[in-house]
């Protein structure tokens, strides 16, 4: 089988990690395909698995223009990227036998003769407010591509308070399965070692802009803090972070240990991060990436006793610390491993032809 995540930050690559491991545990021969930072991550996490370069959608994010405007102008580039993905999957399957394809948010990775799964938490994409009138058209186009896949897998719960909210509910059809939240991390029993942990991620230049804003905070070095930069392909630490415990990237085990030892977390509100924090029972102060409506919606949807949000524009470390100290640790409504056991059931239901009789939802 072939598994390929979208290369928009690390989130899609990290959340597909437990899916890869589940298929390996079920005896499948797994081939991976990715590009950019996702490629670097998978190369480190699964060095023994075949890994193909598979270019996809390439987006740029300016410092001056609003993100919604940049996105609107790059719609032709998005469609070209989908076509590039589709050509790429045809080339790989022409030289390598594949029984099943699993695509994490890569719309072009369907095949006419090979069953394919589309993993997404955004069945209903939320355009920026300025483009909200296009929402029906966006759903029509995205659903057109999703329907080319045999199944849709949504990494969320179906029958209780959901993490993704209106982004993925209700289901579009009977071939949509809610496999439960995904996380490569596991809670560790450790003594609290950090006042807070900062996790950076997402597209440039916004990742670096936030990093520099945090590094310039006068109170940063007076706290027990660790910073994870979200750069698996990098080895250098910038001078402005030399006096702070800083990591470019961490293995799943080390990241689980550090986050488990934090009183709370400061991070983006990307969905993969939300799922990780859910599994680790960690409260969080979210800083949505400016203009990313998905992250802005998630931060608003999850606002409450366990999570709160601050905009990047008004962010200050002092404000984030004060907010974080008021948060309570979230308690999972279902025990750790419930979603994974349900995913086991779904994955085990596949036979060599990619057919499934998995339980719905």
- In this predicted structure, the answer to whether residue 105 has a pLDDT above a threshold of 80 is yes
Whether 298 and 166 share a structural domain: no
Give the percent of the chain with pLDDT over 70: 86
Asked whether residue 317 is domain-assigned, the answer is yes
- In this predicted structure, the answer to whether residue 149 has a pLDDT above a threshold of 90 is yes
Asked whether residue 358 is domain-assigned, the answer is no
The pLDDT-based confidence of 343 (bands split at 50, 70, 90) is low
pLDDT one-digit tens code per residue, 205-247: 889 999 999 999 998 999 999 999 999 878 899 999 999 999 9
> Six-digit token pair at 331?
């308690």
Whether 216 and 248 share a structural domain: yes
- In this predicted structure, the answer to whether residue 13 has a pLDDT above a threshold of 90 is yes
**What is the extent of the structural domain holding 152?**
2-182+337-348
pLDDT one-digit tens code per residue, 73-96: 667 778 888 999 999 999 999 999
Radius of gyration from C-alpha coordinates of the chain? 20
Q: Which residues contact 222 (CB under 8 A, 6 or more apart)?
A: none
Whether 163 and 36 share a structural domain: yes
In this prediction the pTM is 0.88
* Domain count across the chain: 2
> Six-digit token pair at 351?
């036979």
Asked whether residue 15 is domain-assigned, the answer is yes
Output the pLDDT for position 354: 47
Q: How far apart are CA 70 and CA 34, in angstroms?
A: 24
CATH value at residue 43: 3.40.50.2000
Asked whether residue 314 is domain-assigned, the answer is yes
Asked whether residue 331 is domain-assigned, the answer is no
The pLDDT-based confidence of 336 (bands split at 50, 70, 90) is very low
- What spatial distance separates the first Cα and last Cα of the chain, rounded to whole Å? 23
**Mean pLDDT over the full length of the chain:** 87
Q: How far apart are CA 165 and CA 149, in angstroms?
A: 23
pLDDT one-digit tens code per residue, 251-271: 999 999 999 999 999 999 999
Output the pLDDT for position 329: 85
Whether 320 and 341 share a structural domain: no
Whether 304 and 226 share a structural domain: yes
Q: How far apart are CA 110 and CA 86, in angstroms?
A: 7
- In this predicted structure, the answer to whether residue 359 has a pLDDT above a threshold of 50 is no
Output the pLDDT for position 50: 97
> Six-digit token pair at 207?
């990742």
Q: Which of 106-120, 124-138, 319-333 has the lowest mean pLDDT?
A: 124-138
More confident: 361 or 240 = 240
């Amino acid at each position: 089988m072939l598994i390929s995540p979208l290369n928009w930050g690390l989130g899609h690559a990290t959340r597909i990690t437990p899916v890869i491991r589940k298929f390996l545990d079920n005896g499948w021969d797994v081939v991976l395909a990715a590009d950019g930072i996702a490629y670097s991550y998978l190369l480190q996490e699964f060095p023994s698995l075949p890994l193909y370069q598979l270019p996809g959608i390439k987006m740029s994010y300016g410092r001056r223009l609003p993100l919604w405007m940049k996105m609107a102008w790059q719609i032709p580039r998005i469609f070209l990227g989908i076509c590039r993905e589709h050509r790429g999957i045809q080339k790989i399957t022409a030289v390598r036998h594949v029984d099943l394809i699993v695509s994490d948010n890569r719309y072009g990775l369907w095949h006419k003769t090979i069953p394919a799964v589309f993993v997404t938490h955004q069945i209903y994409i939320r355009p920026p407010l300025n483009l909200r009138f296009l929402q029906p058209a966006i759903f029509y186009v995205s659903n057109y591509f999703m329907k080319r896949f045999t199944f849709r897998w949504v990494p969320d719960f179906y029958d209780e308070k959901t993490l993704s909210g209106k982004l993925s509910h209700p289901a579009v059809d009977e071939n949509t399965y809610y496999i439960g939240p995904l996380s490569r991390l596991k809670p560790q029993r450790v003594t609290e070692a950090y006042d807070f942990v900062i996790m950076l991620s997402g597209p440039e230049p916004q990742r670096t802009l936030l990093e520099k804003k945090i590094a310039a905070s006068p109170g940063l070095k007076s706290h027990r803090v660790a910073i994870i930069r979200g750069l698996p392909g990098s080895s250098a630490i910038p001078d402005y972070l030399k006096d702070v415990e800083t990591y470019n990237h961490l293995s799943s085990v080390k990241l689980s240990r550090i986050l488990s030892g934090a009183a709370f977390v400061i991070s983006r509100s990307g969905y993969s991060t939300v799922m990780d924090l859910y599994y680790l029972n960690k409260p969080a102060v979210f800083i949505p990436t400016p203009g990313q409506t998905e992250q802005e919606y998630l931060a608003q949807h999850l606002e409450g006793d366990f999570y709160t949000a601050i905009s990047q524009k008004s962010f200050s470390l002092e404000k984030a610390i004060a907010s974080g100290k008021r948060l309570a640790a979230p308690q999972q409504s279902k025990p750790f491993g419930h979603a994974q056991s349900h995913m086991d059931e779904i994955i085990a239901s596949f036979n060599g032809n990619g057919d499934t009789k998995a339980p719905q939802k």
